[in-house]
Each structure stands twice: as structure tokens, then as C-alpha cells.
């Protein structure tokens, strides 16, 4: 399954952890790792333009197969020249398989060995999605990295159900490999197994045998406490190949990213930056600030004087507070720009520390057990 279009270049390691710095090469450009990737579910990172994303330091972004299948449809995206042209994003793109979204529809879907059948929450029509359909849709969307169709068990779930889902994920992965048609798209497999480390180990060992271009750790951040996420990541990441990118799905807090990087993870995604922005919240040096609060109404200082983003270089806390209280849409754009920049800047600073072999010392605070920070 390895392809010449994609390769991972290892550049530095941390002497006190498993952290590493590298570059993931794709047909649409390199991705310097470790790296946070903004989420653009419907071919759009909410309220932010592609130019603003680039200015924020984004290199690779996400879109979602399930949502784009429902609207506008993969045929239209393909007719437009693929996702890159459709959304005017020149850099690498990753599409999730839609598995997590489908399985979250627990009341309107059924699972069988063949695939998943569900009713569209948009118009009620019945949709059948086997692994082959996810591959067909993602091949038409044209992202650089596509994810295998997997079954994401909920938390909590009994061991028998998690084991069945993990085994089915592997069988579906082999069907995805057979159905995948494009050599210019890298198919990543997903390690499932819930909170059961022996299931995670067995799943990882099976996936590694398939020699995929990259590997993801899925089924975390679905309700389990942070200490279990850390345990899963620490146990699973070392089982994945060192010459392939490692992607932790759906995680984007400072502490979880730092701890996962220490275990050897390269790529992260999360909706936190834009979701927080829509609630009037900013990420500032590890803290979550509610800009609706009274304390900001007459504060004429920048949101974060150390941040080089467009928002911090041009606007005050008082102005952002005003926009939020006035329900002005610009507030969401400005906060999204800052929040995205902040998480990318955080992973960039970790990358620099790894290259200087100073990661463990400089980020010790974030490697300790969790507290109330973001």
C-alpha cells in the first residue's frame, strides 16, 4: 500500500521522550510535524477563508466524507476539479471516512457486516454506506489522505462489543484497500480497541502488516477521561511504524497534544478553535478566556501581545468583547483566526523544541497530569 507520492521524513528525536520532528510529503506540499490540522467539515473551516488559514500557519486541513456526501455530493465536487479547487485550498487535505459521524447516529442507523444503513438527518432518505462506498466517495473528493471506513465504539461499551467493532474495522479496512482506486491518495488505517490495551495492540499489529502509508489512532476523545486517552496513546503509538506518519484523531487540547507528541504522535485535528470562537472564547497561552466577560469591555490591549496573528495585531480585547455582545459575525472570524493560529503555533513551538532537543524541559508543565487548563 505504500506509494511514491507520500513519504515521511524523520528529522529529529527527543532524547527523553518518544517525540519526533519530521516532514510528511504529499502531492500538494509538505506538512511539518508535529502539527495541528484545522477542521473544515463541509469544505470550509467555519468563518475563515483559505487565505486567512494560510496566514494562520495551516498546512493541512480536514474535510468530512459523510457531510460532503449529503451536501453538495461528491459528484459535484469531482466536477469542480476535486476538493482543492472546489474550496480553493492549495495545500494538503485529509478526509475522514464518515465512520464517526455515521456511528454517532445511533438512533437512525443499523450496522451489519456489509456496512451501515442510516436515514439522512437532512431529508430522511435511506442511505447504505459500505466501506466500498466510503472509498468511492473519497476517491471522487480527491483529498491527499483518505481514512479507512471504521466502526467507532462508544464509551463506555462492554468488551465484547468493542472487540467485535475492532475486528470488523480490520475486515472493513481490507475491503477499503481493495476498493481504493487512486495512487495519488494515501489510505490511512485506524487503530480501534476502546480502552482495552490488548485489543489496541492486536489491532495495531494487524494494521502494520498491511504496510499502509500512514496510521491513525481512533476511538478516543469520545467521552473517556483524559487519563485514559493518555494511557491508550502511550500504549498504542510505539506499536506503529517509525517511518510512517501517526495521526491522533479528534484531539486538540494543549495537554493532550503535548502528551501525545511525547509518545510519538505527529498529526492532530479538533474542532475546538472554531467551536470556542462561536461561543466567544479565545485560547490564550494555554487558557480559555471568555471574551463576553465584563473585565474585557474596556480593555484596550491586544488579545495576546505575543501572538502575531491578524486579530492580535489589529484589534483589542474591548473590540472583540463589543463584537460578541453585538452578535456581529466578524467576532467569530477574528476569534477563529486567533484560536487556529494559537494551536498551530503551539505545535510549531514543540517542533522547534524537538529540533533543539529541549522538548522535555521546555514543555514539562504540559507533560504533567491534567489540570483545568485548555
Confirm whether 269 is a catalytic residue. Answer: yes
C-alpha span between 187 and 205 (Å, rounded): 17
Given the residues 144, 269, 299, 304, select the one marked as catalytic.
269
Given the residues 55, 96, 144, 304, select the one marked as catalytic.
96
C-alpha span between 32 and 104 (Å, rounded): 32
Confirm whether 299 is a catalytic residue. Answer: no
Enzyme catalytic residues: 96, 269
Amino acid at each position: 500500500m505504500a506509494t511514491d507520492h507520500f513519504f515521511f521524513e524523520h528529522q529529529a528525536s527527543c532524547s527523553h521522550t518518544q517525540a519526533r520532528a519530521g516532514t510528511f510529503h504529499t502531492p500538494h506540499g509538505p506538512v511539518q510535524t508535529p502539527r495541528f490540522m484545522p477542521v473544515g467539515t463541509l469544505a470550509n473551516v467555519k468563518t475563515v477563508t483559505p487565505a486567512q488559514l494560510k496566514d494562520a500557519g495551516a498546512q493541512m486541513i480536514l474535510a468530512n466524507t459523510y457531510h460532503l456526501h449529503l451536501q453538495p455530493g461528491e459528484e459535484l465536487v469531482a466536477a469542480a476539479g476535486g476538493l482543492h479547487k472546489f474550496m480553493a485550498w492549495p495545500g494538503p487535505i485529509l478526509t475522514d471516512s464518515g465512520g464517526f459521524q455515521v456511528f454517532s447516529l445511533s438512533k437512525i442507523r443499523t450496522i451489519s457486516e456489509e456496512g451501515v444503513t442510516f436515514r439522512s438527518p437532512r431529508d430522511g432518505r435511506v442511505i447504505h454506506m459500505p466501506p466500498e462506498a466510503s472509498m468511492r466517495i473519497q476517491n471522487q473528493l480527491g483529498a491527499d489522505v483518505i481514512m479507512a471506513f471504521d466502526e467507532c465504539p462508544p464509551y463506555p461499551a462492554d468488551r465484547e462489543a468493542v472487540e467485535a467493532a475492532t475486528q470488523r474495522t480490520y475486515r472493513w479496512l481490507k475491503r477499503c484497500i481493495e476498493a481504493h482506486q487512486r495512487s495519488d491518495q494515501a489510505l490511512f488505517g485506524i487503530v480501534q480497541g476502546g480502552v482495552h490495551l490488548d485489543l489496541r495492540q492486536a489491532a495495531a499489529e494487524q494494521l502494520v502488516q498491511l504496510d499502509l502509508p500512514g496510521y491513525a489512532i481512533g476511538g478516543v476523545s469520545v467521552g473517556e477521561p483524559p487519563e485514559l486517552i493518555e494511557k491508550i496513546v502511550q500504549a498504542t503509538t510505539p506499536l506503529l511504524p517509525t517511518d510512517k506518519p501517526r495521526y491522533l484523531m479528534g484531539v486538540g487540547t494543549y495537554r493532550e497534544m503535548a502528551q501525545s507528541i511525547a509518545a510519538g504522535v505527529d498529526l492532530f485535528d479538533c474542532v475546538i478553535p472554531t467551536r470556542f470562537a462561536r461561543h466567544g472564547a479565545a485560547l490564550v497561552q494555554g487558557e480559555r478566556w471568555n471574551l463576553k466577560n465584563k473585565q474585557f469591555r474596556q480593555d484596550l490591549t491586544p488579545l495576546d501581545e505575543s501572538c502575531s496573528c491578524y486579530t492580535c495585531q489589529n484589534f483589542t480585547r474591548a473590540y472583540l468583547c463589543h463584537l460578541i455582545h453585538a452578535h456581529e459575525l466578524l467576532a467569530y472570524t477574528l476569534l477563529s483566526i486567533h484560536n487556529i493560529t494559537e494551536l498551530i503555533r503551539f505545535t510549531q513551538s514543540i517542533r522547534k523544541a524537538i529540533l533543539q532537543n529541549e522538548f522535555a524541559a521546555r514543555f514539562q508543565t504540559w507533560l504533567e497530569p491534567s489540570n483545568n487548563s485548555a
